[in-house]
Amino acid sequence: MQLVVYPYLDTTERGVFSTRSPVRPNHIGLSVVRLQHVDQYRMYIADVDMLDGTPLLDIKPYVPAFDSFEQSHAGWLNGKSASDVVADSRFESGKADTKYADQSCAFETVCGTVDSRRGSTLRCDANPAIDWRRQMKISARNVFEGKVQTVTKGAVNSEVALVLTGGERIVSVITNSSVDSLGLVESKTAYAIIKANEVIVGKGVDGSKLSARNVLAGEVISSHDGAVNSELAIKLAGGATVIASITKESVRALGLQQGDKVSAIVKASNVLIGV
């Protein structure tokens, strides 16, 4: 975790706790926004400082008597204005840091997400199915958030392609009835779920022809050995991390070490889809 950043409205490095940087150790922030209108489960808000895709944990009313202090100081932010230069490219349009986007599923209660509209106006899409209950936790090590790119139906099964927040594309084959029950359509947010023992690790497979639909290029960032198997963490180019469980003998045969360029290979039939 980076604890020193170049913050918004400044060109000097600052400690992350003295900034409003979106990359924080606990991934939780607080924003005061202006409510424009409500449409069923959707809230339209303005004057926000949240990145696209931010999980929404809670909503509270703004009370001027408690939340506004006229005689207050903002330290190095005193005198700064939104017209000042933006020093950090993470805050530029289209360059939001999505490194931690796939970790939003770790929150026990997520009552919605923030989606970009136009200008400074955002919409908060609530999930009416959550109803303030705990979200289900699963044992699969790999859970990736993405948007449905295509849904191609066959006689019995459908091919569903997701584009992850980091740009990678994952293809899954599930039944037509599952597509219908999940309400999968283009641009819908969904999750690709992959068990660690169903990830094949390849080295030097660039350009090879494989029947597996998902070949994700990345770099080994860690390896932990057990009695029989080893657990590998593979960081993809978009920032997501794939966990693979393979035998120690396979690690030895491939000569895998930290920093090696590898491919995480997953059959489409081994990718579960959740919403």
CATH dotted code for 196-265: 2.40.50.100
Q: Which of the 8 DSSP states describes residue 129?
A: T
- 130 has a pLDDT exceeding 50: no
Task: Give CA separation, 239 vs 9, 70, 165, 168, in Å.
Answer: 25, 41, 9, 10
CATH dotted code for 142-194: 2.40.50.100
Average pLDDT, integer, range 129-137: 49
Domain positions in the chain: 4-126, 142-194, 196-265
pLDDT of residue 233: 93
- Tens digits of residue pLDDT in 28-87: 778 888 888 887 667 788 877 776 677 777 888 888 888 887 777 778 777 776 555 554
Task: Return the closest-CA partner of residue 201 out of 258, 168, 164, 246.
Answer: 246
In this chain, the answer to whether the domains covering 142-194 and 196-265 adopt an identical fold is yes
Average pLDDT, integer, range 244-269: 94
